[in-house]
């Protein structure tokens, strides 16, 4: 059982962070991880139990996690005191953690973040502990042993924006986690075993054997979905779903161009078709990605190196609807890469009165140009969307599966 190739982004199985000493230099093929080295000291006393029944937080214990120290420096695997959840939080035994491009932005120094830190926010796992004084409703919703998926943005559930349903703008998330690398009491949950030194958290710090996540940042993972392939749900799929439903408001018959078909872009293709889009154009510079895009809902593909992407998109539209008004262009264009060039392509691909939805994160300080007069005069809607943490209901993922937005093979 598994996902289609939409869920093929790298996922790190918990087996790669097993309690036995290993050489983690083979963790990932990415050049930022290829020199990763282990702390190969004697770890006998830090071995972690492999079953829920053997886990006893009252007896203490240690875990291992992957630490980012500074840009262009190899990550290392370090031993930590077992993280402890507080009220409204849960401790997750990590089953898998994906590597998102935003993680790579931090590793390359393109997005500033507090260090040292444990990165990783595309997490699936098993709940093993609730924080003291956690609300009974949270405990009932997420009982011990539940398999769950975490969200990139971990909404607090209480701030102004969360109370208005705008989880993606959560004040506490950006004030504490994004700005300081902590959870919402201003403290991290990660401390090195040997020195006791605090280590910051990029989201929940998922590249570790255990992690702490605010309960509002979790959704139950249906048992029909596998842990490893499901790891990217909390970022790529939630973001794409939020973009297609809430920002783009895709309607049956819409024409859509998705620029950049990585994890998020590929998810956008599949969700757009599930919502009834009739023309879905995938734009990328890699033919292998474009071939996969055809299996995920793309009706047409464009290699932006081999041909002018904007002209090709407009040509597809002209053939698709010969009575189109408002100038040739798609109803909705989605930028899922985060580069100034693709930002401009997205704007120029939209018809008058259409929507340009920006999802891709870029390196800090990147500038995208906007034709102000066209934006104003021709009613082009320009929508920015970083990521969605919205769960929407206790059965959010089950609903996606049942509607074939996520396919189980």
How many CA atoms within 13 Å lie on the side-chain side of 98?
28
Of the candidates 3, 8, 79, 85, the residue with the CA atom closest to the CA atom of residue 41: 79
Q: What pLDDT is stored for residue 360 in this prediction?
A: 74
Q: What is the Cα–Cα distance from 234 to 242, expressed in whole angstroms? A: 11
Q: What is the Cα–Cα distance from 237 to 290, expressed in whole angstroms? A: 18
Q: What is the Cα–Cα distance from 41 to 398, expressed in whole angstroms? A: 43
Q: What is the Cα–Cα distance from 118 to 182, expressed in whole angstroms? A: 11
Q: Can you tell me the mean pLDDT for 172-195? A: 95
239-386: what CATH class?
alpha beta
Residues of the chain with CATH 3.90.180.10: 62-231
pLDDT digits (tens, 9 = 90+) for 120-137: 999 999 999 999 999 999
Tell whether the model's pLDDT for residue 230 goes beyond 70. Answer: yes
Sorting pLDDT into bands at 50, 70 and 90, what band is 337?
A: confident
What does DSSP assign to residue 89? E
CB atoms within 10 A of CB 112: 10
Tell whether the model's pLDDT for residue 185 goes beyond 70. Answer: yes
pLDDT digits (tens, 9 = 90+) for 43-101: 323 333 333 333 444 335 899 999 999 998 899 999 999 999 999 999 999 999 998 88
Q: Would you say 228 and 8 are in contact if contact means Cβ atoms under 8 Å apart? A: no
What pTM, to 2 d.p., does this model score? 0.72
Q: What pLDDT is stored for residue 372 in this prediction?
A: 62
pLDDT digits (tens, 9 = 90+) for 357-375: 888 766 666 666 766 656 5
pLDDT digits (tens, 9 = 90+) for 264-288: 899 999 999 999 999 999 999 999 9
Of the candidates 306, 305, 330, 304, the residue with the CA atom closest to the CA atom of residue 316: 330
Q: What is the Cα–Cα distance from 175 to 390, expressed in whole angstroms? A: 18
Domain 62-231: CATH superfamily is Medium-chain alcohol dehydrogenases, catalytic domain (3.90.180.10)
Tell whether the model's pLDDT for residue 296 goes beyond 80. Answer: yes
Residues of the chain with CATH 3.40.50.720: 239-386
Backbone angles phi, psi at 123, to 5 degrees: -120, 140
Q: What pLDDT is stored for residue 167 in this prediction?
A: 85
Q: Can you tell me the mean pLDDT for 230-237? A: 88
């Amino acid at each position: 059982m598994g996902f289609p190739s939409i869920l093929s982004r790298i996922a790190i199985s918990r087996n790669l962070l097993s309690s036995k000493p290993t050489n983690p230099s083979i963790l990932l093929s990415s050049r930022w991880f290829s020199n990763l080295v282990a702390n190969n000291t004697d770890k006998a006393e830090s071995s972690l139990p492999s079953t829920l029944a053997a886990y006893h937080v009252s007896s203490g214990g240690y875990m291992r996690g992957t630490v980012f120290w500074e840009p262009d420096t190899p990550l290392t695997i370090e031993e930590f005191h077992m993280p402890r959840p507080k009220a409204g939080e849960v401790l997750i035994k990590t089953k898998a953690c994906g590597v998102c491009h935003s993680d790579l932005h931090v590793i390359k120094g393109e997005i500033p973040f507090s260090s040292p830190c444990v990165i990783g926010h595309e997490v699936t796992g098993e709940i093993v502990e609730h924080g003291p004084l956690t609300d009974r409703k949270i405990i009932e919703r997420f009982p011990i042993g539940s398999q769950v998926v975490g969200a990139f943005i971990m909404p607090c559930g209480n701030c102004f924006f969360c109370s208005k349903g705008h989880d993606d703008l959560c004040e506490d998330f950006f004030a504490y986690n994004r700005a300081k690398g902590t959870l919402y009491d201003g403290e991290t949950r990660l401390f090195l075993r040997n020195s006791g030194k605090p280590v910051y958290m990029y989201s929940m710090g998922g590249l570790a054997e255990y992690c702490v996540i605010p309960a509002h940042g979790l959704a139950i993972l249906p048992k029909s979905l596998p842990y490893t392939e499901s790891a990217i749900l909390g970022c790529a799929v939630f973001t794409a779903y939020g973009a297609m439903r809430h920002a783009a408001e895709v309607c049956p018959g819409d024409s859509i161009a998705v620029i950049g078909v990585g994890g998020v872009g590929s998810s956008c293709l599949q969700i757009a078709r599930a919502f009834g889009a009739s023309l879905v154009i995938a734009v990328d510079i890699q033919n292998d990605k474009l071939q996969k895009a055809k299996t995920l809902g793309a009706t047409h593909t464009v290699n932006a190196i081999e041909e002018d992407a904007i002209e090709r998109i407009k040509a597809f539209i002209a053939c698709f609807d010969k009575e189109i008004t408002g100038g040739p262009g798609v109803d909705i264009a989605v930028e899922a890469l985060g580069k100034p060039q693709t930002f401009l392509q997205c704007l120029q691909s939209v018809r008058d009165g259409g929507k340009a939805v920006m999802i891709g994160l870029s390196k800090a300080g990147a500038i995208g140009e906007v034709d102000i007069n066209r934006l104003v005069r021709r009613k082009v809607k320009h929508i920015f969307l970083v990521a969605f943490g919205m769960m929407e209901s206790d059965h959010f993922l089950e609903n996606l599966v049942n509607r074939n937005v996520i396919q189980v093979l």
